[in-house]
């Protein structure tokens, strides 16, 4: 089978390394270009432990990345927002399809982007054109036709998969939704800081960026699209002393007259045929070890109990796979007309 050349820019970050590993084993992709500001000149085998043809590739410097990527059909941008804003227009002009893993093109409202990232968006046209790439919530046809796909953030992915079916079905009351989500340390990126050092993180558990996390408007945007209305939201992220995984605990109230049976039916209707969503028998069964290392999301819920009308939905994902690189490859598969599960259906965790 002829393979299609793909580039990974920003390949030395955690999501970039994960994307490199997935694409190196992809049955239809040829990893042709990798770039890094820190590893330039080194081989992929040396830095990512990948052997074979992909392992012999050398990391190109960022200033040459766009030029080298012109020989590819598509590129994954595992780069910060400011770098993605520079790379995306150049690659699109060269005819590539682009999947951007940063927040550069996720928010449809330029004012929301400015508030979240402290930048004026320089490409309003591309912001309007970008397709939000969360296949399980709809939009597969748009993703398949898109030139520019905004890969969702890790927290928004977990929250949206947990609640979007219920919002779309009108099962939740128009009250505030609360999302408490805890992530492994790789979600903070690879830049060394005192707060993220081993001695500071281990044996601790804490919230961070309370009421000011940049993913809050993205979660709110996804909820609003599903519900057809604005959804009041409180989102609080937490840092787990683990490397990988996100556990999102979402609190809401059922709309008047709605039942747990209708909730179960909504999840089944939306996800019964989804290859990367697993519906657990109960909220208690959802765990990180069930999904870490895979592109899966596990979802379970509990409703009623001592407080009638209360519902708690729990979702778990690997923040580097379904929350980043795996989802990017899922979107790439759709955009290039490949089976959606290509390169992803063989991923597996290692627990115990």
| 306 and 326, same domain (yes or no) | no
**pLDDT per residue over 193-214, tens digit each?**
767 677 677 888 999 999 999 9
In this structure, the answer to whether residues 173 and 263 fall within a common structural domain is: yes
Identify the CA nearest to 241 among candidates 207, 208, 198.
198
- Structure-block tokens of residue 73: 């059909």
**Are 11 and 130 in a shared domain?**
yes
pTM above 0.75, yes or no: yes
**Does the pLDDT of residue 119 top 60, yes or no?**
yes
213 with 159, same domain: the answer is yes
Structural domain includes residue 218: yes
Q: Is residue 341 part of a domain?
A: no
The total number of structural domains in the chain stands at: 2
- Closest C-alpha to 33, from 79, 62, 74, 68: 68
Say if residue 159 is in the same domain as residue 146: no
Whether 271 shows a pLDDT value over 60: the answer reads yes
- Are 196 and 307 in the same domain? yes
What is the per-residue pLDDT for 191?
64
Mean pLDDT of 99-124: 96
Q: Are residue 74 and residue 180 in the same domain, yes or no?
A: no
Same domain, 256 and 108: no
Task: Tally helices (H) and strands (E) across the chain.
Answer: 13, 13
Does residue 342 belong to any structural domain of this protein?
no
Give the separation between CA 59 and CA 121, rounded to whole angstroms.
29
Return the exposure string of 306-337: e unless at least 16 CB atoms fall within 10 Å of the residue's CB, then b.
eeebebbbbbbbbbbbbbbbbbbbbbbbbbbe
Neighbouring residues of 199: CB distance < 8 A, sequence distance ≥ 6 = none
Nearest partner of 188 among 246, 119, 134, judged by Cα: 246
How many Å apart are CA 332 and CA 337, to the nearest integer? 8
146 closest CA partner among 14, 320, 328: 328
Asked whether residue 350 is assigned to any structural domain, the reply reads no
Same domain flag for 68 and 212? no
Sign of CA dihedral 164, 166, 171, 176: negative
Return d(Cα 115, Cα 342) in angstroms, integer. Answer: 37
Q: Is 201 within a domain?
A: yes
**Six-digit token pair at 68?**
């080298």
- Whether 241 shows a pLDDT value over 70: the answer reads yes
Average pLDDT of 148-171?
Answer: 98
Same domain? For 239 and 329 the reply is no
Q: Which CATH number fits the domain that encloses residue 307?
A: 3.30.360.10
Determine the structural domain holding residue 254 and report its residue range.
155-319
The Cα 246–Cα 158 span in angstroms is 7
Residue 153 has pLDDT above 70, yes or no: yes
Is the predicted pLDDT of residue 62 greater than 80, yes or no?
yes
pLDDT band at 14 (very low <50, low <70, confident <90, very high): very high
- 344 is a domain residue: no
Strands 74-77 and 97-100: parallel
Query: 86 with 225, same domain?
Result: no
- pLDDT at residue 352, rounded to an integer: 56
Residues 190 and 307 in one domain: yes
Q: Which residues are catalytic?
A: 154
Residue with tokens 């979107």: 331
Give strand pairing partners of 126: none
- Domain of 30: which CATH number? 3.40.50.720
| Residue 351 located in a structural domain | no
Structural domain includes residue 115: yes
């Amino acid at each position: 089978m002829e393979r299609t050349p793909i580039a990974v820019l920003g390949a030395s970050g955690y999501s970039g390394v994960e994307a490199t590993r997935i694409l190196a084993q992809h049955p239809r992709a040829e990893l042709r270009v990798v770039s890094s500001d820190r590893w330039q000149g080194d081989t992929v085998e040396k830095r990512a432990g990948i052997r074979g043809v992909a392992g012999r590739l050398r990391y190109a410097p960022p200033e040459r990345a766009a030029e080298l990527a012109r020989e590819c059909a598509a590129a994954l941008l595992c780069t910060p927002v400011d770098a993605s804003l520079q790379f995306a227009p150049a690659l699109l002009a060269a005819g590539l399809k682009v999947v951007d893993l940063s927040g550069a093109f996720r928010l449809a409202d330029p004012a929301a982007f400015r508030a979240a990232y402290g930048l004026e968006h320089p490409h309003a046209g591309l912001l309007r054109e970008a397709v939000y790439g969360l296949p399980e919530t709809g939009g597969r046809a748009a993703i398949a036709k898109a030139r520019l796909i905004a890969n969702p953030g890790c927290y928004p992915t977990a929250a949206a998969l947990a609640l979007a079916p219920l919002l779309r079905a009108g099962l939740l009351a128009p009250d505030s939704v609360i999302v408490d989500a805890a992530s492994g340390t790789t979600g903070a990126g690879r830049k060394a800081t005192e707060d993220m050092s081993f001695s500071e993180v281990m044996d601790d558990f804490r919230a961070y960026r309370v009421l000011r996390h940049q993913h809050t408007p993205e979660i709110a945007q996804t909820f609003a699209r599903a519900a057809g209305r604005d959804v009041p939201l409180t989102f609080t992220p937490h840092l787990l002393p683990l490397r990988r995984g996100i556990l999102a605990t979402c609190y809401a109230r059922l709309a008047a007259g709605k039942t747990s049976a209708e909730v179960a039916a909504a999840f089944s209707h939306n996800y019964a045929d989804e290859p990367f969503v697993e519906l657990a028998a109960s909220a208690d069964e959802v765990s990180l070890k069930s999904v870490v290392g895979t592109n899966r999301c596990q979802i379970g819920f509990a409703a009623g109990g001592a407080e009638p009308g209360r519902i708690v939905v729990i979702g778990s994902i690997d923040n580097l796979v379904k929350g980043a690189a795996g989802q990017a490859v899922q979107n790439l598969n759709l955009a290039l007309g490949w089976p959606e599960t290509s390169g992803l259906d063989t991923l597996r965790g290692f627990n115990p």
